[in-house]
A and B are shown apart, each in its own frame.
Chain A
Amino acid sequence: MVANKNQVKQTIQVDIIPLTMSTIDGNDSQPFEVKVTPANVNVESYNWMWKAPQKSGNSPQVHFATPNKQDTLIKKAHWFAYPDSRLQKITGWDCEYTIDCEVTIDGIKYRTSTPATFHVYLPDPPAVTSWPRIEGFPTIATRQEDDFTEWYVSSLGTLKRRSPQVTSYIPITSQFYDKVVTVHEGHHVIQHTTGVQTLTSHTLWDATQLFHNTLKSLKSTVSEADLKRQINNAIATQNALDNNLAQMESRAREKEAFSKSNQVPPHYLEFNVL
């Protein structure tokens, strides 16, 4: 037997706390709690339930950790597609479930007047790959030139090309981790290191070349600090120029990476590469 609306309003009030919550795909949610007013009634059972828009894609699903307790949380939040489209520009990065809890008091079932909403989303962007760059510092030495000291660059020192770094903003438990992080960002790493045909970023940020072309001829008769400033400026300038060149190929790199990651399920949150 389900209580009619008037009965609920007049006697028993059921509320979910909090009323809205957001969780990244693959993470567990924070707890939801149901509060019954007046507090002294004897609740015989709790039954957590959920809804999602019909015709949604990617199989909406909610797994309550404790579906029959006063408080619960949602295990491994699952992003679904509404409308059902493989393209991110149609679905957006987030989806919305409705969460309710049915409580039984004296054999009568009650629900909330305002169910809670549960957003599941992927951050935009869900992952990035930072570009390589020239980092470290060449070795500095001094020599006497007539009656003054000269600071000069003597060897490569710790100067090197730093590898590209992948940063993921989604957990490894996300259904999109393999598609986004392993394959898409993983392909960017390949582009920047071993390289792929038609793209050039694997040839940029060349520390050895910078050393031989520029750094090894730098010197100062003023101070070591003055030479360090010259070196820092030369490294920063080369990094900026190479970043600029890399940026010109951004679209081509992304197209190539999407051509790989669009082959990996789930076939949602995809971008056309035409």
Chain B
Amino acid sequence: MYGDIQRYTQLQLYHSIIEADKIVVAHASIFRIDEDDDEILFALSNIKNIFEAHDLANNLPLLVISNQVAHENVPIIVPEKQHLLFLKMLPWNKGLAKPMGIDDLTPLSVVCEGWQSAICLDFFNVKSLASQILAEKYHIHKANELINVVKEMSLWKNPKLKREDQVEILLKRLTVSDSMIYADNIPPLISHLGGKVPQKETVFKKRIDKKLPVCYG
């Protein structure tokens, strides 16, 4: 995939945290596969919510549609394993539910974009790019440590918080911890919220200066 190699050297969780309607730790098992289809349907069980947008149904079984066509930046769900999943809920839709043979009230979701949106938490048995980066770059070796980090970085998503309070939560987390995983992820979250990022690293930003002389065709 022609693109930035950096995304495979750090865990850019901020993309997923921003996009997710729901962040869970759950066991994923295969629910349905159509032989001629590129999609696979996973059922989640033993769900622990890390974050959930306030208006989502809580008590229904949750299914995740995942694409079987993989490339570098596609999230991978390993069947029968526990995962940290960043999910986007799909609107209830008879047209979608019926061909899948499910009740049209069953909540359906997709994994957010980017390989980091599905992380297998069985670090000891299933080696992965995520577990490699977590261990080597962030010195995180246990699932619970990662879960706590994601919890901390998702607190700002509480819809009751004002924008300045959201930024304040993130700034506080950034200043009280020197962990690299926060340093890699919190500044982009603050920028996303329109806050001012502490000047620690160079940010490349393209500007087209209207006052510059121009060339003519």
Contact = CB atoms under 8 A, between A and B. Distances in A.
A212 to B, nearest CB: 21
Given A233-B79, A236-B79, A244-B78, A133 B68 contact: yes
Interface string A154-182: 00000000000000000000000000100
Given A89-B204, A90-B206, A236 B4 contact: no
B69 A127 contact: no
B8 interface: yes
Interface string B178-217: 0000000000000000000000000010101100111111
Interface residues of A, number: 56
B217 A50 contact: yes
A254 B77 CA distance: 22
Contact of A261 (B2, B9, B71): B2
B70 A52 contact: no
Interface stretch (B125-133, B145-153, B157-165, B169-177): B125-133
Contacts of A273: 5
A113 interface: no
A128 B72 CA distance: 9
Given A237-B78, A247-B72, A51 B215 contact: yes
Nearest to B34: A232
Contact of A131 (B3, B71, B80, B213): B71
Interface residues of B, number: 40
B40 interface: yes
Interface string B74-85: 101111100000
A25 interface: no
A239 interface: yes
B33 interface: yes
B19 to A, nearest CB: 16
Nearest to A91: B206
A271 B9 CA distance: 14
Interface in A243-259: 243-244, 246-248, 250-251, 253-255, 258
A82 B206 contact: yes
B79 A237 contact: yes
A232 B35 contact: yes
A83 B205 CA distance: 10
A248 B127 contact: yes
B59 to A, nearest CB: 27
Interface stretch (A15-23, A29-37, A55-63): A55-63
A92 B208 CA distance: 12
Contacts, number: 130
A250 B215 contact: no
B2 A127 contact: yes
Contacts of A200: none
B65 interface: no
Contacts of A232: 30, 33, 35
Interface in A121-159: 124-131, 133, 137
A255 B78 CA distance: 26
Contacts of A243: 70, 74, 76
A227 B124 CA distance: 31
B115 interface: yes
B195 to A, nearest CB: 22
A37 B115 CA distance: 53
B217 A255 contact: no
Nearest to A52: B215
13 contacts: A51-B214, A51-B215, A53-B214, A82-B206, A89-B204, A233-B33, A237-B80, A239-B68, A240-B77, A241-B126, A244-B128, A250-B8, A251-B9
Interface of B: 1-5, 8-9, 30, 33, 35, 40, 68-74, 76-80, 115, 120, 126-129, 132, 204, 206, 208-209, 212-217
Interface of A: 49-56, 60-62, 82-83, 88-92, 96, 98, 124-131, 133, 137, 180, 184-185, 188, 228, 232-233, 236-237, 239-241, 243-244, 246-248, 250-251, 253-255, 258, 261, 271, 273
